[in-house]
Amino acid sequence: MSLGPAHAPTKSEVAYEALLRAIRTGELAPGQRVVLGALAEQLQMSQTPVRDALSLLAEQGLVIRRPNHTTVIGGQPAERSSEVSMVRSILEPEAAKLAALRGEPGDVAAMAAACDALDAALADGGQAASGDLNARFHLAVARACGSPMLADFVGRVWRQMPLEGLTASGQLARAAQEHRAVLDAVRAGDGDAARALMAEHVGHAARATEDYLRRVAQAAPRP
């Protein structure tokens, strides 16, 4: 068997992941103006890969390019949040069920490691990092399902979530407990329980996000 070299991330992919992480953690906040040259300098790379990354983020609605050549970080309207939650409610419970039925020991270990990392971050008060660790658990479940296509779809949905309501609304401690319950069901090979627990968890996350966005909208200054 002749295998080619493993894929190495391009500079555009590195820039995209860095900017996506900054958006999701709030380091780049909704409405904040971003300048290509300044971003390239911060990322210590040329403007071309950063421009490519911004183009991809714009396609996903995570940044907005205005007619006056100004680029700003996009918000997350309630309609978009509801759609993301709806898609999650379809995909992720099935992924959890399949993970319980098909997951390999290494997959389960990755889920457990994600739980441990989130617990440690919460104990240290690292709310910003906790958002990424929350995503890490869900993506680990998706990878454990045994369906590369389903795992890819779940990953795409998570990339549409620049604002994580659980992080902003202070519900991550509850989420961490629910992650453990899903993990226990997967370990036990109980697909029905894993599916039900993930469905309940995604529902809690959707409500937390909707409540947070409602409060933000109510607090926003009137035009």
Q: Please report which confidence band the pLDDT of residue 7 belongs to, taking 50, 70 and 90 as the band edges.
A: low
Q: What is the pLDDT of residues 81-135, one digit of tens each?
A: 788 889 999 999 999 999 999 999 999 999 999 999 999 988 887 655 566 788 8
Over residues 3-26, mean pLDDT: 77
Over residues 183-192, mean pLDDT: 98
Render 146-194 in DSSP notation, one character per residue.
S-HHHHHHHHHHHTT-SS-HHHHHT-HHHHHHHHHHHHHHHHTT-HHHH
Q: What is the pLDDT of residues 158-177, one digit of tens each?
A: 877 755 555 555 678 888 99
β-pair type (71-73, 33-34): antiparallel
What local confidence, expressed as pLDDT, does residue 141 receive? Answer: 98
Collapsing DSSP states into helix, strand and coil, what is residue 125? Answer: coil
- 223, pLDDT greater than 60: no
